[in-house]
Structure 1
Amino acid sequence: MRLINVLVVDDSAFMRKMISDILNAHPKMNVIATARNGKDALEKLHELQPDVITLDVEMPIMDGMTTLQKIMVEKPTPVVMLSSLTQDGTEKTLESMTLGAVDFIAKPSGSISLNIRDKEAEIRTKVLQAVNANVNKLVEKEIKKPVIPMNTQRVASNVTKSNLIVGIGTSTGGPRALQQVVTQLPKEFPAPIVIVQHMPAGFTNSLAKRLDNLSQINVKEAEDLEVLQNGTAYIAPGGKQFRVEQRGNQLIARTTKEEPRNGHQPSVDVLFESLAELSSRQVYTVIMTGMGADGANGLITVKQKKQDTVAFSESQETCVVYGMPQAAEKTRLVDHVVRLPDISNALVKQIKA
């Protein structure tokens, strides 16, 4: 059995030792080296060629963001970021997702977290998952300023349907994928868009604000009992399940703290199952890059109860991790397999049809 070689990068000797101990305790992983800053990390990257890097955001000499950018240019390698839960930390973490990081782990109590073992299972899981990520896809997807496709504004304003809703589910690689899709939707998009991105509490609101600043449509974190509006995307708050309920002619967001569904809260399955109960709405579903199979069972439910549901999945060609789209496609209920850059246009064209 070939071991997964990991380079651990953190300016704290305590954190380097704790993370190394956590990873080395797993039979499939080996910490090949540690580094105390980005400059040290880049030297060891070229010398040792690790399979995965854990990278602290805040470091002296060369910080995590600069280091990540250099890694993706010089030798693209799966990177899992470790960040604090401060506002600055969450914003940098989200930026790192657009720069090519596969995933992140929130340190439970600051840059030197004495209780880092509380994250032991998450650290091991995310490093194991990262080794399978297609980092080249992340590097290829250069994020540009929003460009609304030709005629999209006209198409949207001519749509007379108003009984529509779009549900999107994504996980690993999702923040970057969402940025590419949501920023391409026209301002008058004739439906509310409800989104589950696997992400802990404290990060989803920052993700929503970031996307809102880049997009023609409005983007916000969903709030319990708010009325959903066309041309607005609602991101499930981390640590809560997100459902949509119909009350008269209105759609209402429900966000509740519950037990995770198959390890996920929010869960794509939970969201999609709620869409299946909307009696007077045409449902469109989109499943994009992510580890695991969340969304596949929800897709089965919504297709069984609402046979006119139109289902999209992101093609393997552009996925960072093909798990969730592949699981959806295995149900044989996906109508359109679409490359990531084409998803927004495909939605608009399907709604116009």
Structure 2
Amino acid sequence: MQIPTEKRKMARKASVFVVDDSLVYRNLLRNAFAQDDEIEFLGTAIDGKFALPKIAQLRPDFVILDVEMPQMDGIQTLEEIKGKFPDTQVIMLSSLTQEGAKVTLKALDKGAIDFVSKPDGKLDGAISDTLESLVSKIKALHSQKSYHETKFESRLPVELPILHKHGKTYNICAIGISTGGPIALRELFKKIPADIDGTIVIAQHMPPLFTNYLAESLSQAANIRIKETEDGEILQKGMAYIAPGGKQLEIVNSANGPAARVFNGPEEELCKPAVNILFKSLAENFPKETVAVIMTGMGEDGYLGMKELKKNGSYLIAQNKESCTVFGMPSRPVQDGLIDEILNVERIAEKIVYLLQKVL
């Protein structure tokens, strides 16, 4: 059921509080939020020690939290926030360093809903991209939260009839995912057995360095091995591969079976890795062997790739709105009727196992 237009217009602004020891970033964020009609800026603090009393008083929808701060760092502050104010959503501000990537992935494990990266070096055009990304995330996350609070039920089918398999068909499962991905992937891989008879390949929107630590983090809770993909690597059954941040990934034919091609570009794709690039390569090279899953995330990356997969005979699954952090990427494939099944994360894992299993 759709929320009436007049009710959408009356939706409450997203209230935001910033915790960062950098005066420059506090002012940049203050200005960005103050200029947006959909965001209510509540204030700032220099670290967790000063932030917690204000958060208790103001009860913001979102806390923008720096990873590295004196006295009380981002992880300590995050644990306090999620322990005392579980409904407050936390977005981390992370540096593009190995240590920053490690700590940020730890923060996502501890309840942060997402992160944005602070640009290295001078505050040039990259800071505008960071601020724009952060504002967009807040709006998308707030919209999804408002959807849950309305308690309207979706009219989309939860599940279509079970596919009846007459032989082994699918060997590759490709997953496209973004905002909320680490949390959803952790839940999904807990349900994937070690003896799965196929390969899982993932395009998760993340910067360089982060995807390697994501693979390591997911492996700790998974039954199968998960690693960052290397160029030329032959895909093995019973493994999951994550596309490297800052690169594109295609799956191509080789003399020894499906292989990874990792490369730069193309520039017309906004994301590196792009789900469209991964999906289109599978539509060209392994369409009838592919199960493609589009999961939580902002924007429409993956839609064009799913159109190609659909034309060429792949099996398509979307995460349902109710279980998404942001129902952006699955939205258009669902609306356009490309999807064979719409499932929550647990059921997606079950269906991947079913579709990739041997049939005797």
* TM-score where L is the length of structure 2: 0.83
Is residue 2:319 matched to residue 1:314? yes
Separation in 1, partners of 2:55, 2:286? 55
Separation in 1, partners of 2:213, 2:356? 29
Query: Against the structure 1 CA distance between its residues 260 and 213, is the aligned structure 2 distance closer, same or farther, given a 3 Å change threshold?
Result: farther
Is residue 2:101 matched to residue 1:90? yes
Question: 1:125 maps to what in 2?
Answer: 133
Query: Against the structure 1 CA distance between its residues 135 and 88, is the aligned structure 2 distance closer, same or farther, given a 3 Å change threshold?
Result: farther
Question: 2:53 maps to what in 1?
Answer: 43
Offset of 1:14 from its aligned partner? Answer: 3.2
Offset of 1:90 from its aligned partner? Answer: 0.9
Question: 2:123 maps to what in 1?
Answer: 115
Question: 1:81 maps to what in 2?
Answer: 92
Separation in 2, partners of 1:324, 1:5? 25
Offset of 1:349 from its aligned partner? Answer: 2.0
Separation in 1, partners of 2:95, 2:295? 27
Query: Against the structure 1 CA distance between its residues 48 and 230, is the aligned structure 2 distance closer, same or farther, given a 3 Å change threshold?
Result: same
Is residue 2:179 matched to residue 1:169? no
Q: Which runs of 5+ in 1 are unaligned?
A: 138-158
Which secondary structure state, in structure 2, belongs to the residue aligned with residue 66 of structure 1?
helix
Query: Against the structure 1 CA distance between its residues 116 and 264, is the aligned structure 2 distance closer, same or farther, given a 3 Å change threshold?
Result: same
Question: 2:225 maps to what in 1?
Answer: 218
Specify the code of the residue in structure 1 equivalent to 2:196. Answer: F
Question: 1:324 maps to what in 2?
Answer: 329
> Retained in 2: the 8 A contact 1:77–1:135?
no
What are the within-5 Å matches in structure 2 for residues 221-260 of structure 1? 221-248=228-255, 250-260=257-267
Query: Against the structure 1 CA distance between its residues 279 and 46, is the aligned structure 2 distance closer, same or farther, given a 3 Å change threshold?
Result: closer
Separation in 2, partners of 1:117, 1:104? 19
Query: Against the structure 1 CA distance between its residues 240 and 271, is the aligned structure 2 distance closer, same or farther, given a 3 Å change threshold?
Result: same
Question: 1:13 maps to what in 2?
Answer: 23
> Retained in 2: the 8 A contact 1:166–1:191?
yes
Offset of 1:246 from its aligned partner? Answer: 1.0
Is residue 2:75 matched to residue 1:65? yes
Query: Against the structure 1 CA distance between its residues 72 and 131, is the aligned structure 2 distance closer, same or farther, given a 3 Å change threshold?
Result: farther
> Retained in 2: the 8 A contact 1:52–1:131?
no
Query: Against the structure 1 CA distance between its residues 260 and 209, is the aligned structure 2 distance closer, same or farther, given a 3 Å change threshold?
Result: farther
Is residue 2:313 matched to residue 1:340? no
Separation in 2, partners of 1:91, 1:335? 37
Separation in 2, partners of 1:264, 1:24? 28
The 10-residue stretch of structure 1 (20-29 or 90-99) with the greater mean CA deviation from structure 2? 20-29
Specify the code of the residue in structure 1 equivalent to 2:19. Answer: V
Separation in 2, partners of 1:262, 1:51? 32
Query: Against the structure 1 CA distance between its residues 188 and 332, is the aligned structure 2 distance closer, same or farther, given a 3 Å change threshold?
Result: same
Could you say what the CA RMSD is over the residues aligned between the two structures, in angstroms?
Answer: 2.6
Query: Against the structure 1 CA distance between its residues 260 and 330, is the aligned structure 2 distance closer, same or farther, given a 3 Å change threshold?
Result: farther
Offset of 1:23 from its aligned partner? Answer: 3.6
Which secondary structure state, in structure 2, belongs to the residue aligned with residue 271 of structure 1?
helix
Separation in 2, partners of 1:49, 1:57? 20
Which secondary structure state, in structure 2, belongs to the residue aligned with residue 50 of structure 1?
coil
Offset of 1:277 from its aligned partner? Answer: 1.5
Separation in 1, partners of 2:315, 2:140? 29
Specify the code of the residue in structure 2 equivalent to 1:106. Answer: S
Separation in 1, partners of 2:327, 2:169? 32
Q: In the alignment, which of 342, 356, 359 is matched to residue 351 of structure 1? A: 356
Higher relative contact order (CA closer than 8 Å, sequence separation 6+) = 2
> Retained in 1: the 8 A contact 2:234–2:256?
no
Is residue 2:294 matched to residue 1:268? no
Specify the code of the residue in structure 2 equivalent to 1:78. Answer: Q
Offset of 1:289 from its aligned partner? Answer: 0.7
Specify the code of the residue in structure 1 equivalent to 2:344. Answer: R
> Retained in 2: the 8 A contact 1:26–1:124?
no
> Retained in 2: the 8 A contact 1:78–1:135?
no
CA-to-partner distance for each residue in 1:240-288, whole Å, 9 max, x for gaps?
A: 1110001245111011111344421111111111001125851101111
> Retained in 1: the 8 A contact 2:14–2:138?
no
Separation in 2, partners of 1:242, 1:122? 24
Offset of 1:194 from its aligned partner? Answer: 0.9
> Retained in 1: the 8 A contact 2:170–2:355?
no
Query: Against the structure 1 CA distance between its residues 163 and 132, is the aligned structure 2 distance closer, same or farther, given a 3 Å change threshold?
Result: closer
Query: Against the structure 1 CA distance between its residues 126 and 17, is the aligned structure 2 distance closer, same or farther, given a 3 Å change threshold?
Result: closer
Which secondary structure state, in structure 1, belongs to the residue aligned with residue 253 of structure 2?
strand
Offset of 1:311 from its aligned partner? Answer: 1.2
> Retained in 1: the 8 A contact 2:251–2:259?
yes
Question: 1:152 maps to what in 2?
Answer: none
Offset of 1:29 from its aligned partner? Answer: 4.2
Offset of 1:333 from its aligned partner? Answer: 1.8
Offset of 1:88 from its aligned partner? Answer: 2.4
Question: 1:296 maps to what in 2?
Answer: 303
The 10-residue stretch of structure 1 (317-326 or 255-264) with the greater mean CA deviation from structure 2? 255-264
Specify the code of the residue in structure 2 equivalent to 1:121. Answer: D
Which secondary structure state, in structure 2, belongs to the residue aligned with residue 31 of structure 1?
strand
* TM-score where L is the length of structure 1: 0.84
Which secondary structure state, in structure 2, belongs to the residue aligned with residue 323 of structure 1?
coil
Offset of 1:25 from its aligned partner? Answer: 4.6
Is residue 2:114 matched to residue 1:103? yes
